Amino acid sequence: MNPAAINRRHLLLAGAGLTVSVLASCRTSDVLNPGDGQSRIETAKSLEMVNALRADKGLSRLSRNARAEVAAVAQAKRMARAGEMSHLIGFRDSFLERMKGHDVPLPAAENIAAGQDSVERAVQAWIDSKRHLDNMLGSFNGLGVAVAWDSASANRPYWAMVLSA
């Protein structure tokens, strides 16, 4: 085989290897393993705060929902990687499709925040916002909350709360 053919073949294989590496770095376990130093599930403390708020309004308690937690981790990580607080990141992003993709029981809602240095401050920011408060007082049964950090901007925390049926 001539050197040009070998180089083309090597580039094709390297390109294929790069594709495999990129796909491999986007594993489901990234979402399911929040203890990777980049994200953390924060449902327990959030659940206490939200349930106290709901009890004051005579509403039923929410429960921890593992699927909502996975969706919250995924959204917090997406925002941290993008360095942007947004429900929709990228062309063709869809909240409904994301929830379906994580098997979150519908209907569902999502609260997001950025910059708060504790779960208490993130939940308080949502309480102080009518639209976010309405989500927390809505007809939901499950809850998942997560935080992820953007190392590119001084470890800014990005928060996501997913409420589910």
- CATH (domain of 91): 3.40.33.10
Per the domain annotation, does 16 fall within a domain? no
Per the domain annotation, does 43 fall within a domain? yes
Q: Three-state SS across the chain? A: CCHHHHHHHHHHHHHHHHHHHHHHCCCHHHHHCCCCCCEEECHHHHHHHHHHHHHHCCCCCCEECHHHHHHHHHHHHHHHHHCCCCCCCCCCCCHHHHHHHCCCCCCEEEEEEECCCCHHHHHHHHHCCHHHHHHHCCCCCEEEEEEEEEHHHCCEEEEEEEEEC
Q: Model's pTM, two decimal places?
A: 0.74
Domain extent at residue 132: 39-164
Give the count of domains, the chain: 1
Per the domain annotation, does 28 fall within a domain? no
Give the C-alpha separation, 148 to 137, whole Å. 25
Per the domain annotation, does 19 fall within a domain? no
Per the domain annotation, does 77 fall within a domain? yes
Per the domain annotation, does 20 fall within a domain? no
The per-residue pLDDT string of the chain (165 residues; one tens digit each, 9 = 90 and over) reads 444 443 333 333 333 332 222 222 222 333 334 344 488 889 899 999 999 999 999 999 999 999 999 999 999 998 888 887 667 776 677 888 999 999 999 999 999 999 999 999 999 999 999 999 999 999 999 999 999 997 666 678 999 999 999
Per the domain annotation, does 30 fall within a domain? no
